[in-house]
Structure 1
């Protein structure tokens, strides 16, 4: 065989080898593509299954929490029975006095005022009982916290005025939002504020702080009252525990149940000694969790609203 024929043969063999390798690589690439598609589907299925499992776990936790609360209803009923009896008997007494034919106008007004006080107390106890049993279940919406606190303050204005109390709000930035049941959350924040006002008495100072830490919103309420004795720190959130003679012992238990239903937590700050300091943590909506942390955590105080009620 001549040199030219040999070179042609080598070249032809090289082309055939190249074609074979190309076909093998193409086949391998197609196999890899199929494996990638299969793994992607498996990953998507696993992610969906994980999300479903998490949803199921949350549902079971909520159901277990609700079951635990409902199991407490028997004890609650027994404890509330005698507490309801006193304001109910008082209300009945003053209602019966209103039937007198020759009642003076000032006596009539006095009896009506005392009757209303008793009925409001009963209404408050019933609302606490129902909210504790529900644990804050209901529809949710996007809620702006500074607006929510304005709503809470407005509802407490008579009590704030009566006690010459001051109310301040410090925001890390404007427009911090959460997903919540607006009226229920407003009610429990109002409950926290009412407890603080009862503890502080005249010239109470309630200071709210709102910021964002670790993908959660932190809502802090601190007051200038006597604080909570250390030996009671573990008991104040328990149902039926109260230090007030006319208390139901459900106020802070309701607060904790509702905050838990919002996937949040509440705790009493043991390091704060100038009064009481409650810290509520609620999850951010997912859209805000994806923002850079600098935008959420490093901004300075944008607004301080101070007002004194007289």
Structure 2
């Protein structure tokens, strides 16, 4: 009896399924420049179906004179793979800030055909920036602990002395003693906010319905500061539960919605849109673990405000960075810390017409 395992014939392998499982857009271009095949990520990247893609030339999908077209020609002429890094292919059709690494290779048995793979650099860059955000949050942890011990105690003494003086000074000087107490109280509140960064306890998490969280945030926002703002919803009803702490998620998205509300104060027709979607293919290694975690749950807070100043975009989630006149610069840093504690990623995307804060989180494997 032959007990050897049966090996699959390579010709029986469903290559289309294999290509669709890859996290990068892949298309095949024929000798005339038409798309003849595309995987699932290519459909998502170009925002159209494979059937529609197959009727178009590559030149209609990319900007005029794109270096990608030259790479395809090189691969076809040399009969050898070629690649180029950080190619900007932004256009109105697929969106702005589209920077990709390009890999082009000739297809055997198909004269003039080329397979093209695009690796979106923004994803990799976002991962790098997210690690920087986490390092920045950790850097403020030691500062918060030091301030709590070395500054708050002397401030209490200063405030107490000012209160004692208030009862024995003239009315003119009493305004100064009140100024002292008010300013010490303000510093103490700032230190209290910073001390949140020194909380290193593990996050207690469970399966949470993100739509319940967003509905609560929306109601709180409408009651407290958003009564003149139109709130829109674009929810994916089939979204699985998120593995998270519900109270902390409420804090995160309430902070983002409040920032959005402040941004649209002077905008005609102020609007904030809350959206959810399932985006497969994003994986990141969580600190303290050797495993990579999938982050398919995307939650966005969008507004039609003027956006963030370009000069602070790259350090937006760092402590003490703010565009507000009276802001402390700790709100978004705290949001980044809480999302990082959940093993997730937060990113800002300013398109000129719309401001988007995008949160990506891991799903829960628990049932409710």
| TM superposition score category, shorter chain reference | 0.5 to 0.7
Please point out which of 343, 346, 351 is paired with 1:263: 343
Residue 231 and residue 70 in structure 1: after superposition, are their counterparts in 2 closer, same or farther (change >3 A)?
A: closer
Given candidates 174, 179, 195, the residue that maps to 1:130 is: 195
Point out the structure with the larger strand share. Answer: 2
- Please tell me whether residue 252 in structure 1 is matched to residue 318 in structure 2: no
> Which residue of structure 1 lines up, in the alignment, with residue 140 of structure 2?
72
Q: CA deviation at 1:254?
A: 0.9
Q: Distance in 2 between matches of 1:136 and 1:239?
A: 20
Aligned counterpart for 2:225 among listed residues 159, 163, 176:
159
Q: Which structure has the larger Rg?
A: 1
**Which of residues 259, 262, 272 in structure 2 aligns to 1:195?**
259
- Report how far residue 66 of structure 1 moved: 8.1
Do residues 205 (structure 1) and 236 (structure 2) align?
A: no
- Report the 3-state secondary structure (helix = DSSP H, G, I; strand = E; otherwise coil) of the residue aligned with 1:228: coil
Q: Which has the higher contact order (CA 8 A, sep 6+)?
A: 1
Name the residue aligned to 2:247: 183
Do 1:136 and 1:258's aligned partners in 2 also have CA atoms closer than 8 Å?
no
Give SS of 1:190's match.
helix
- Distance in 2, Cα, partners of 1:136 & 1:155: 27
Measured in 2, the distance between the counterparts of 1:155 and 1:119 equals 27
Distance in 1 between residues matched to 2:316 and 2:339, nearest whole Å: 15
Distance 1:71 1:268, change over 3 A: closer
Gap change, CA 1:277 and 1:146, over 3 Å in 2: same
Runs of at least 5 residues in structure 1 that lack an aligned partner in the other structure = 1-24, 33-64, 100-110, 289-310
More helix by share: 1
Q: Is the 8 A contact 1:136 1:184 kept in 2?
A: no
* Secondary structure of the corresponding residue to residue 233 of structure 1: helix
Q: Secondary structure at the match of 1:72?
A: helix
- Indicate conservation of the 8 Å contact 2:239/2:277, yes or no: no
1:144 aligns with 2:209: yes
Deviation per residue, 1:270-301 (Å, 9 max, x gap): 4x21142111111122479xxxxxxxxxxxxx
Q: Does 1:236 align with 2:316?
A: yes
Structure 2: state its 5+ residue gaps: 5-132, 168-177, 281-294
Decide whether the 8 Å contact of 1:199 with 1:226 is kept in 2: yes
TM-score for both structures, normalised by structure 1: 0.54
CA distance in 1: counterparts of 2:239 and 2:303, whole angstroms: 24
TM-score (norm 2): 0.46
Aligned to 2:110: none
1:278 aligns with 2:357: yes
